[in-house]
Amino acid sequence: MAATSGSDHYSHSKPPLSFLFAGKKMPLKLFWAFALLIFTVSRCFGDDDHEMEEFLKREFSLSKPYQGVGSSGSSHWELMGDAMVTTEQVRLTPDMQSRQGAVWSRIPCHLKDWEMQVHFKIHGQGKKNLNGDGMAIWYTKERVQKGPVFGNMDNFTGLGVFVDTYPNEEKHIEAQKKRYTPRTQRIFPFVLAMVGNGSISYDHERDGRPTELGGCNAMVRNLKHDTFLFIRYIRRRLTVMIDIDGQHEWRDCLDIPGVRLPQGYYFGATAITGDLSDNHDIISLKLYQLTVLRSKKEEEEEEDEITIPSVDNMELLRLGQVEEGMSAIAIFFTVLLSMLGCVFLIVIGLVVYSHWNESRRKRFY
């Protein structure tokens, strides 16, 4: 685990108990009894924010003035492809066709619990749905590998969080003169996450739906205010949130338990353009080490070393996506067939009952 010396440190704090009783007189014994009750309840519910401290890890963070970024040996970060450093940002791709670029950490991260705060900007001349293709934040075994998945290789090993700005599946369906239903249609840009084990391919034509863990729409293009992405991995739980409304408030995007990520992988950011394009900029990447209190049971459960990325109950997640993806017609026929089945069973029951009742009457004559 990396040393914490030279790191920025801050912790979440609770409001003082005196605030709860401002302007009121309360007996001292009752006050301490109430304080003990609050402490006991907070321990029972285990509020993570109150049990966690955060340390900024400078060796895994990227921010202005980007000193030495891209130069060999003088920085913890390496540029790739069309990425370039300016005074205001690390531009992964310019607003030009067929470009891809990346910035990758040179140092593997051995933190058990962490969070990444990404300050980014996506902008360009293209109108809505005439821009592309998007960008990604990575925590993977591989690094500095060009490829089709937002500028990174396919069949990656680790975690990818994607900001997808072009609806490939929707355009493909439109070309076939079909239509999305309101239930299945997505609003782009869309943020989603995927965990790969080295053999799972990202389905570009379907915008990653078959392998996604979850996601949310995020209107992030051409905004005048700052946009942020928050990725937290703690107690084998992956949480992604966004702050894109200029209100300095995080909005939930996905929260998935049972995500198993090995230690010693690399952080990176990539982007790609195709026939359509955008500027994809990273203003900062800030990684925080999280120190979390664990129960003895949790420590025992997490003793085994994770060697291959995986997600518990992934089959249930995919089943939920299949159910969510049912069209209105499919739902109509499912309900119709269910109703017809019920009617059929009722008719059969009535016929059987009438025969039984008739034979029962005959026995009395």
Cα(186)–Cα(193) distance, rounded to whole angstroms? Answer: 15
Per-residue pLDDT of the chain (365 residues; tens, 9 = 90+): 444 434 444 333 334 433 334 444 456 555 555 555 554 444 444 444 446 789 999 999 999 999 889 876 668 999 999 999 999 999 999 999 999 999 999 999 999 999 999 999 999 999 877 899 999 999 999 999 999 999 999 999 999 999 999 999 887 776 665 655 555 678 999 999 999 999 999 999 999 999 999 999 999 999 999 999 999 999 999 999 999 999 999 999 999 999 999 999 999 999 999 999 999 999 999 999 999 988 888 888 888 899 999 999 887 665 555 444 444 555 566 667 778 877 888 888 787 777 766 665 554 44
Closest C-alpha to 283, from 269, 298, 295, 267: 269
CA-CA distances (angstroms) from residue 100 to 92, 141, 280, 296, 337? 7, 20, 10, 46, 50
User: Which residues have a Cβ under 8 Å from the Cβ of 83 and sit 6 or more positions away?
Assistant: 70, 90, 91, 92, 93, 101, 102, 103
Please tell me the pTM assigned to this model: 0.75
Cα(161)–Cα(141) distance, rounded to whole angstroms? Answer: 15
Report residue 312 CA to chain centroid gap. 15
Right CATH number for 49-177+185-321 from 3.30.930.10, 1.10.240.10, 2.60.120.200, 3.40.50.150?
2.60.120.200
What residues pair up with 54 in beta bridges, in sequence order?
10, 290
CA-CA distances (angstroms) from residue 158 to 263, 297, 307, 312? 10, 26, 10, 15
Q: 23 in helix, strand or coil?
A: coil
| Burial of 146 per CB tally in 10 Å (0-12, 13-18, 19+) | middle
Domain residue ranges in the chain: 49-177+185-321
